[in-house]
């Protein structure tokens, strides 16, 4: 099989693998959620060197079953409750299949116009579903784009902010050297690690990041402390460049007070980036749109359809109110990419909206998902998911041995045994160790806290009941040990 795969071979193996994926989903519940393998458990089963001759994928399905599947933590499993969900769906997978088959590059409008235009349209559809402000929308000064992740969205917001606050000098002069200014980025102590990573990548170092304290109960950024730190930095000759406000923190889904933060940013001319990576999807339901109060102050906004909106990773939706700040920050134009369409100014070249140059046709999977489910179907998934979390929360609240550590708002429940950290750690270890379910942890005010996040389309009420029964059983064991 050293030659190219024929059309007939592609059809035959393609059908087999579509069925293999369907079989995987049909039987996923029979597998342990968390892989039990030890380091080297997969690599040790693979040849040390590549095959000299192709083998026609003959034993491929056997190897997928025998080598790969035992080494996976199954993120689509109905009892996967760890981290945040990264759910996918049939329509999304099929959109990705078509994207891979077309194999086009969307770096410039001209390199495949449909790749750019379908992205502009589907991202505008999302903006409508979320009821985002006009200035983020198509035909405004702003616009939207699909990034690979919220980390990248935070990074490009940081770069656009540095460009704007420096009046464009940042592109030319950078940050260093004798005349270098001290730019500062602000986020709460609960912000995602990608804020620190973005500040570091952008050359600000940890010295350029201010971690603003949060309220003891709501874990939301303390706006007064933010205001005070900004004043202090300005007095010391530093330049506040960016505030990242989080809607739905990773640790506990806390919500920063957007209206207060927004007013502070406006008064001080600071770029406000809103990181709603996880929570934003819920805003497609009017009853959860309270989270967007104050969003009119935002210069950029991000949420991940690949978390709760049934569109497989990678699909992070990013909007900017003034696209020129972003494009100016990221545009570099060599001769070999010059073309008439770009020079006309009438089109979008998304390469200037992201870190890499090349880009896949990611809008296809989003289009497939939006068409399959419709707004109605997506809202139903959000409500079902959050309803299941509410069910779990009620179970926790009814057992006096447990407590909820924070007030649940969406699909994440943060809870713990009313006991010391060691016992909670032991409880987590026991519930995860036989593969029936998978939860992760965080630490809130020095208390080890269990996180149960719901999101898989396969999760039903019975899975929630089942994990709770097991938690109760292990709690009894742990408390009596």
Binding to a second copy in span 335-354, by CB under 8 A? 335-337, 341, 344, 346-347
Judged by beta carbon, residue 120 or residue 409, the one nearer a second copy is 120
**CB neighbour list of residue 278: distance below 8 Å, 6 or more residues apart:** 84, 248, 250, 253, 303, 304, 307, 308, 410, 412
* Interface map 264-303 toward a second copy (x if CB under 8 A): ----------------------------------------
* Closest to 36 measured CA to CA, from 452, 436, 423: 436
Verify binding: residue 168, a second copy, rule CB under 8 A.
no
CA 437, distance to chain mean position in Å, is: 22
Verify binding: residue 167, a second copy, rule CB under 8 A.
no
Q: Which of 49, 400, 462, 481 binds a second copy (CB under 8 A)?
A: 49
Of residues 69-128, which lie at the interface with a second copy (CB under 8 A)?
69-76, 83, 86-94, 96-98, 100-105, 109-115, 117-118, 120-121, 125-126, 128
Q: Which of 200, 289, 430, 447 binds a second copy (CB under 8 A)?
A: 200
Per DSSP, 80 falls in state B
Residue written as tokens 């099929």?
94
Q: Which of 65, 134, 173, 266 binds a second copy (CB under 8 A)?
A: 173
Verify binding: residue 211, a second copy, rule CB under 8 A.
no
* Closest to 208 measured CA to CA, from 196, 194, 220: 196
Task: Supply φ then ψ for residue 442, to 5 degrees.
Answer: -145, 180
SS3 216: coil
Q: Which of 31, 67, 296, 391 binds a second copy (CB under 8 A)?
A: 67
Are 84 and 412 spatial neighbours (Cβ–Cβ below 8 Å)?
Answer: yes
Q: How far apart are CA 216 and CA 208, in angstroms?
A: 25
**CB neighbour list of residue 212: distance below 8 Å, 6 or more residues apart:** 186, 187, 188, 189, 221, 222, 225, 226, 229
* Interface map 125-164 toward a second copy (x if CB under 8 A): xx-xx------------------xxxxx--x---x--x--
Verify binding: residue 60, a second copy, rule CB under 8 A.
yes
Give the shortest CB-329-to-a second copy separation in angstroms.
8
Stretch that binds a second copy, among 334-342, 385-393, 405-413, 465-473 (CB under 8 A): 334-342
Give the shortest CB-396-to-a second copy separation in angstroms.
19
**CB neighbour list of residue 427: distance below 8 Å, 6 or more residues apart:** 417, 450, 471, 474, 475, 478
* Interface map 7-46 toward a second copy (x if CB under 8 A): x-xxx-xxx-xxxxxx-xxx--------x-x-xxxxx--x
Judged by beta carbon, residue 260 or residue 349, the one nearer a second copy is 349
Are 325 and 353 spatial neighbours (Cβ–Cβ below 8 Å)?
Answer: no
* Interface map 227-266 toward a second copy (x if CB under 8 A): -----------------------xx---------------
Between vectors from CA 134 to CA 270 and to CA 292, what angle results, nearest 5°?
A: 65
Judged by beta carbon, residue 210 or residue 306, the one nearer a second copy is 306
Tokens (6 digits) for 46 = 């693979």
Give the shortest CB-259-to-a second copy separation in angstroms.
27
SS3 254: coil
Give the shortest CB-190-to-a second copy separation in angstroms.
9
Of residues 365-424, which lie at the interface with a second copy (CB under 8 A)?
368, 370-377, 380-381
Q: How far is CA 436 from CA 386, 427, 440, 459, 481, in A?
A: 21, 14, 14, 13, 22
Q: Which of 30, 235, 286, 334 binds a second copy (CB under 8 A)?
A: 334
Judged by beta carbon, residue 153 or residue 262, the one nearer a second copy is 153
Judged by beta carbon, residue 262 or residue 385, the one nearer a second copy is 385
Give the shortest CB-302-to-a second copy separation in angstroms.
12
Are 356 and 145 spatial neighbours (Cβ–Cβ below 8 Å)?
Answer: no
Of residues 357-376, which lie at the interface with a second copy (CB under 8 A)?
357-358, 360, 364, 368, 370-376
Q: How far apart are CA 365 and CA 97, in angstroms?
A: 9
Cis peptide before 170 (omega within 30 of 0): no
Q: Which of 29, 31, 57, 296 binds a second copy (CB under 8 A)?
A: 57
């Amino acid at each position: 099989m050293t030659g190219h795969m024929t059309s007939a071979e592609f059809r035959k193996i393609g059908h087999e693998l579509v069925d293999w994926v369907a079989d995987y989903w049909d039987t996923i519940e029979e597998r342990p959620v968390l892989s039990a393998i030890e380091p080297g458990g997969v690599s040790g089963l693979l040849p040390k060197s590549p095959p000299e001759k192709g083998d026609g994928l003959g034993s491929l399905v056997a190897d997928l079953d025998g080598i790969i599947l035992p080494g996976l933590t199954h993120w689509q499993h109905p009892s996967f409750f760890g981290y945040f969900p990264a759910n996918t769906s049939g329509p999304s997978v099929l959109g990705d299949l078509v994207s891979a088959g077309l194999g086009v590059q969307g770096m410039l409008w001209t390199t495949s116009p449909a790749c750019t235009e379908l992205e502009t349209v589907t991202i505008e559809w999302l903006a409508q579903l979320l009821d985002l402000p006009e200035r983020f929308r198509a035909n405004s000064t702003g616009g939207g784009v699909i990034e690979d992740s919220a980390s990248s969205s935070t990074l490009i917001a940081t770069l656009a902010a540095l460009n704007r606050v420096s009046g464009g000098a940042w592109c030319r002069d950078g940050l260093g050297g004798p005349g270098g200014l001290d730019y500062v980025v602000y986020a709460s102590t609960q912000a995602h690690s990608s804020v620190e990573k973005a500040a570091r990548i952008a050359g600000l170092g940890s010295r350029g990041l201010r971690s603003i304290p949060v309220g003891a109960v709501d874990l939301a950024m303390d706006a007064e402390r933010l205001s005070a730190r900004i004043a202090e930095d300005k007095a010391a000759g530093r330049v506040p460049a960016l505030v990242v406000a989080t809607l739905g923190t990773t640790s506990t889904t806390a919500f920063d007070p957007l209206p207060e933060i927004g007013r502070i940013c406006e008064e001080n001319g600071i770029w406000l980036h809103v990181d709603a990576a996880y929570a934003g999807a819920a805003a497609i339901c009017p009853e959860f749109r309270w989270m967007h109060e104050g969003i009119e102050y935002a210069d950029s906004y991000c949420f991940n359809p690949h978390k709760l909106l049934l569109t497989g990773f990678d699909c992070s939706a990013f909007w900017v109110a003034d696209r020129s700040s972003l494009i100016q920050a990221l545009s570099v134009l060599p001769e070999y990419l010059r073309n008439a369409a770009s020079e006309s100014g009438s089109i979008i070249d998304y390469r200037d909206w992201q870190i890499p140059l090349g880009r896949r046709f990611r809008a296809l999977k989003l289009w497939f998902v939006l068409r399959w489910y419709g707004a109605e179907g997506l809202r139903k998934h959000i409500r079902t998911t959050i309803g299941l979390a509410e069910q779990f929360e009620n179970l926790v609240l009814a057992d006096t041995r447990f407590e909820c550590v924070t007030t649940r708002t969406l699909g994440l429940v943060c809870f713990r045994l009313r006991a010391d950290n060691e016992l909670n750690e032991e409880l987590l270890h026991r519930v995860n160790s036989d593969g029936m379910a998978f939860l992760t942890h965080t630490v809130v005010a020095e208390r080890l806290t269990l996180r149960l996040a719901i999101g898989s389309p396969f999760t039903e009420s019975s899975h929630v009941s089942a994990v709770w029964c097991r938690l109760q059983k292990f709690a009894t064991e742990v408390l009596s040990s």
